[in-house]
Structure 1
């Protein structure tokens, strides 16, 4: 069985467009020519890839099975072309990485700065988000590395075991929050306050839930759930909310006297952070450069 990258590109473009005509426009070919390309691919595979309907093209079971492999092969071909061009001096190469907010505000900038100091022609694309968004971007080939709180490996994503470190999370509040005036402050005192946190199912929410459980406490009533770090910080600063944040996320606000850790004696909530990659495929050379820099930083921190 042999098929070309051109055939796979045609196949994935039809899937994305849901229409032979729209895919032909995207690829700048005629519809009959595109149809012949897919027909030859189907002949190579010995089975139809699409069911043709009046409303568009729908994948068959064979097409569904081929899609992730076609996407991976095209992505690896792009990586190979980019790396070869970079070696020849024809292109810069691109690091594609995603990170949770606490890493994006401290560790990742240091790593990126270190990489660009050694390889100034590289470009860097960064997305920020909680784990579910990073995992989705990793599987969609939008990023090659994801930096997040440690979670169990899956069939498709695995942690890079020699690139991990720790940070500490705290309850944060504005400097004029009423709880700061309370004597013998404890975690239970926060239960009747207004809280804003990342959504349920995210790493920070689950970490906070685990810490409250370790103190034999229920979770407080959460008034606002949002993925926006800007919104969380604004609610803490301007509206008197409490929130749960890793220390690197608010070091700037702490230094500026905007908001800071709520001084609850004995509350030390550590978590492990690590780098993740797809199980399948080769890690592109630019991503390897960033990974090596992260390893050096995390080893120093450890």
Structure 2
């Protein structure tokens, strides 16, 4: 058989169905009954397939037919093709009806504004989707992604990670030092980092990248780390602590902007910023619901960037997402 015969347009899906039905019925007559056509139609269809392949698919017996060695091989592939088509039909129907099952998202608080907006958009479009969000530090989330416990991670993009992880940058997010409205630090006419160290702080755990960067900022300004510290990775707990106490922390800019009870301080943290985006396992097919969530994430990130550019002289943003392909293990301003 010359190369390309099955792809030259002559082989039809009806040929696959016909040959599978003949094999299941065990005879041309039986296949005709199952397909609700006449026997000559089945005979003609079988002859067409055998002419395309250049081999005999069924051995004609006194009572019915039996697949030849060529027939066995072709029928196996025909069954796989039909199964894939049925799966595609089922998936499209689930997409159309909104019944996409579940998605488990790992989140770090750097994506705190982005993720809720994207989930709201996803649920509006597909109300039957069940979304589970798990918060943890980035290192723990990456491990869960690779073990299949998570479908996607939303948050800060680490500088390097496993080559299995594909990372897509959505936007840049700088950090701000913040405290609640009415905090005594806001009474200071020109608060400095040393002034904040007199109050309790909320810090990320030791050995995390943000903790290391904050420690460097304190060291460069010759300020001792606060003695009164709470280590926290949960954005909900962090906000509650800020609202209920005189604690101070460093958080992504959008966390402060979306909370009317918080206010940032004019203390420079220009070297602390994060590329916020999504991470997926490059070795696993992307589920339809994950692709839809990522689309909503990209749309919301573009809106956030546009709003930032329009409402303040914020030169730290990089604009909307260019169309490109993310590289495994490296951050990229791309789409999936």
- State the TM-score, normalizing by the size of structure 1: 0.60
Provide the rounded CA distance (Å) in 2 between the counterparts of 1:113 and 1:187. 37
Cα drift, residue 83 of structure 1: 7.8
Aligned to 1:169: 175
- State the TM-score, normalizing by the size of structure 2: 0.55
Aligned to 1:244: 250
Q: Which runs of 5+ in 2 are unaligned?
A: 1-85, 306-318, 320-336
Aligned to 2:119: 112
**Contact 2:157/2:167 (CA < 8 Å) preserved in 1?**
no
Q: Does 1:275 align with 2:278?
A: yes
Provide the rounded CA distance (Å) in 1 between the counterparts of 2:104 and 2:88. 13
Which has more radius of gyration?
2
**Contact 2:204/2:232 (CA < 8 Å) preserved in 1?**
yes
Equivalence map 1:135-154=2 (5 Å): 135-154=142-161
Cα drift, residue 129 of structure 1: 2.5
Cα drift, residue 167 of structure 1: 1.6
Aligned to 1:87: 92
Q: Which runs of 5+ in 1 are unaligned?
A: 1-80
Provide the rounded CA distance (Å) in 2 between the counterparts of 1:240 and 1:83. 56
Which digits, 9 at most, give the CA deviation of each residue in 1:7-65, with x for residues without a partner?
A: xxxxxxxxxxxxxxxxxxxxxxxxxxxxxxxxxxxxxxxxxxxxxxxxxxxxxxxxxxx
Count of residues in Structure 1 that have an aligned counterpart in Structure 2: 216
Q: Does 1:285 align with 2:288?
A: yes
SS in 1 for 2:154: strand
Cα drift, residue 143 of structure 1: 1.2
In structure 2, do the counterparts of structure 1 residues 180 and 136 end up closer, same or farther at CA, with 3 Å as the change threshold? same
Q: Does 1:133 align with 2:172?
A: no
Provide the rounded CA distance (Å) in 2 between the counterparts of 1:209 and 1:82. 53
**Contact 2:110/2:276 (CA < 8 Å) preserved in 1?**
no
Aligned to 1:200: 206
**Contact 2:135/2:234 (CA < 8 Å) preserved in 1?**
no
Which digits, 9 at most, give the CA deviation of each residue in 1:95-131, with x for residues without a partner?
A: 3211112413x21122223333444443322222321
Q: Does 1:103 align with 2:111?
A: yes
Provide the rounded CA distance (Å) in 1 between the counterparts of 2:152 and 2:107. 8
Aligned to 1:234: 240
Equivalent of residue 123 in structure 1, options 130, 134, 158: 130
Provide the rounded CA distance (Å) in 2 between the counterparts of 1:210 and 1:174. 24
SS in 2 for 1:138: helix
